[in-house]
Each structure stands twice: as structure tokens, then as C-alpha cells.
Structure 1
């Protein structure tokens, strides 16, 4: 069932994305008498454009892209937004694509003002970097505006058939593992190297901002500490953010599951998978699966997941009134 909070997030984030696009379209429309027709709409490996279209068709194509992707992200948030993490991802993605479309319009057509021949258009490196990076600002703001999940303690016991670890009455235990590496990190390294080579080949030094930011993102997304203790499950990036905490009294069952990153989550990193399951997915194989109150679930690919799951079930038992 779709929660009211999920519906609200989808509506305001989609509206924000469309407002960003509409403002850019109005600005571009005010330039219509200063633009060549056709305008340059695509650049290849060289500095000269290799694709052209009318200004109206270009604006329409960008608008269709933004609307379709907003609908996709909105559908994810609407149907699978039981978790705040999913709602944040949906909101940030919608706002980012709206900002991306807006920047694409402004930074592609702005340099062409006053030209009589679009073949003379040149796209500066700073414009490419700005188109990729500037939309991150409203996207981060959108994610921060989404409130977290309310504390929802379980009303029943932990599943009777869930694995447990025998602990004496006053005995304490902590399980800590590190989750890192995997195929996604290799893909990220290749992407970063490709962007650096592209910036050097085009002599567009402003483009180097993109691989630097991408390196920071991958550093945050592909190294995590996973901890199970009396408070519950804590998963946090090695750089401090992002992270999540599942209180022990919200755990209904912890178990081991097998993860196929691309098939189940569409890739690697902090992801939203089928049914709204949130996952820290760094590799294929065994993962710790936590089913919690409110129909939410969380998965993290980590070694020795069976021990972590058994201890979490035991500590969740203790957290019950």
C-alpha cells in the first residue's frame, strides 16, 4: 500500500523537477530571436558540432526525457516508498533529472546566442561540467527535505524459525565486518579513467571536476562498516556518509540471502531493488537480509552474513518488552 508520505514526496519532487525545466525553457524561449535555426544539438569527439535540430524540437526532446524519467522515479517512490531511503532516492533522482534538463537547455543554447551559423558553435568544457554537477545541489536539498522513518517497534516476537546465537543472560556480543570492493568499484574506476582521458583529449580542463566528484562518490559508496550490537544493525560508509541504522526492536527476522546485483538491483552501490528493498550491494553472493516493521527490508552484501543474522535475531529478542 502506498503511504501518504510517499505520495507527498513523489508529488513535490516531480513538481520541483518540472519547475526547474519550465524556468529554463522560458529563459531559452526569450532567446529565440538570437539563436540560429537550426541550432547545434550534439557534439562528437571534436570541438565542432555534428548534430543539428530546430530549437523547438530540441526543447521538446529534453522535456520528453525529463517527463519520462520523472515518471519512472516517481513510480518507484509511489509504489515502493515504504522506506525513507527509497523516498529520498526517488526525490533526489527526480529533482536531479529536472535540473539536468534545465542545464542542458541553458548551457547548450546559451553559447549559440548571436550566431548566424550553428556550425560555428563551440561547447566550452565548463558548460559540460556545470550540466553534470550543478543539478546535484537541488538534488541533495531534495533528499535532505525528505523526513526519516518514524520509529515503529515490532508488536510480535522475532520469527520462531529464525537462526539465533546462544548467549547467557548478561552476556554481550558485537559483530563487525567490512563490506567493500566488488565489480561496481571496477566499473567506477573505468568510468573515472575514461572521463579523465576525455578531458585531456579535448583539452577541456573544467571537465576534470566530474571525475573528481565521481571518485568521491565511489569512495563513499563502495566501502562500508557493518555492525550488529544491542542497538540493532548499523551500516555506514567508511567516509561517514551515507549510512543507516535499523533498531533492534524493529527487526522481524534477519537471514541470509543470495544477491545478484544487476538482476535484482540494476547495478552496484546503495540501491533500490524489486519491491522497494533497499540494499548496499557491492558484489554478488551472500548478503545479510533484515526484514523490519512496516513491510520494509534491507540487504547488505557482506562476509559471514549468517553469523550477523543469527546475532541480530538474538539481540532483537532481547529488545522486545
Structure 2
């Protein structure tokens, strides 16, 4: 799949399918619901206002569809600047805070009006953060297209392209698990058994993708969420060479190992070709990255330019 199709799947078709599922559940419950249904509860859990059952269904479908289509369109427009991930994550963040809550409030009234909405909102918030992180971090960058690439810099995302084909499945599973947590919370059951691990897993998986950048300032490496982040100024680099990196033996772990001290540190979310950056401090930095030869050439050119300026 192309990056455009993956983005369309994660940020448009999958959210619309999720909205349709919530709408179908509400529609199936309509014949069994009292009319009107409770629409608002007091802090003590007592019903204080009512409305027709069909209004929640219409609100879920219309508001969810308009919001999803709008954020998808904004993401397509922002893709040239590689900001489409933000809109995918924002779309799912808003989506998980709305339709699951509306659906639980409606469908649960087939049996009871005693709902724990405070815990349900917390479960929605945890689930929304988890799904938003999964959607935003597993999307690959769009190709450069007609936008002119700056020849003085290099950037690349390691593992994003390999994880991207599974992005739709990952986001769908997170969304369904998150919605299940909301249901459990509304019924007063142990929702954190799902929401807690889901949130931890989403943030942990985000660290398995690194975005590296080389320009006149030096080398910067960051996770898609911006943290962790590491920058090596050009003045602190002596040389660079291509090398084969084995994370467990070279830096002691798979992922980030940016400790301060000899003999070497690095970032490697997978084994394979990468860069060995020799620093003036004597501590080598290993960076496993896609398109390592191009990165090595760019950093070498920047080092040469830096030394020419010093002379």
C-alpha cells in the first residue's frame, strides 16, 4: 500500500466504519429503549433530563462523519509538510471521546439508567490517548512529490515503512479495546485492566520508530512523539562511517540507549546498516537508520563544509 492509501485507511475509512458500528448498535437498541431516554445525570447519579432516543443516533453519525471528513481533508492538505500524522491522531482522539460514550449511554438504558459516567469518561480519555498515539505514529511519511527537497539536509524514518502495512489493524484493535473499556467503566467494572495496558502499549510502540535528521546543525534523532530526543551538534562530530549494527551487542538493548559514558551509545530499533558517528568526547554514537549510505554522504558533506569554514 502507498502512504496515501494507508493514511486514507487509518484516518478516513476506519473512523467511518467505527462510527457506523456505533450507529448500528444504537439503532438496534431503539425498539427496546424507553422514550424518551435519560440524557443527563446529576453528580449523585440521578436522571435530570431526557430526550428522544433517535437524537443520540443522529448526533453520533452526523457529527462523527463531518468531523472525520474535515480532519482527513486537513491532513491531506498538511501532508506536504509531514503533518498528516497530527490530524490522524487528532481525529481518533476526538472520535474516542464521543461515539463510544454516546453509544454506551444509549444502549445501556435497555437494562438500566444507573451508569458510572465519571469512570466511563476516564476510560474514554485513556483509550483516546492510546488510539491517537497508535494512529499518529504508525503512519509513514508521504513522498516528496513536486515539493523541492532541500539538498543540504537528509531525513528518514526508521521502521515506519515496515510497520505501516499493519497500521490499520493496530488502530482497529486499539479502538475496539478502548470502546470495551468504556463499556466496562460505565457498568462499574474493572476498566483499567484494558485501558492501562492499552495506553502503555501504545506509548511503548511509539518508541520503536525513530526519525533522524542531518543538516548544518548536526544530527538529531527523535521518536514520533518528540520524546525521547537526542541532538549531536556538528562541532562535536569528528567523523562518520557506515557500519553493521547489532543492537543487543553494540548498545546493549533494542531501542534507545543514550547514556553518557564510554565506549558507545546509540539508537537502534532494528538490526542492520547504520552510522557510526565518532565524537570529540570519545564516545561513539551508533544510529541504525534506513538509507544509511545517503545519510553518511550528507553528514560527511556537512562535516567537510564545517571544517572549511573553520579554516
- Give the TM-score normalised by the residue count of structure 1: 0.45
Instruction: Report the TM-score when normalising by structure 2.
Output: 0.46
Higher relative contact order by CA 8 Å / sep ≥ 6: 1 or 2?
1
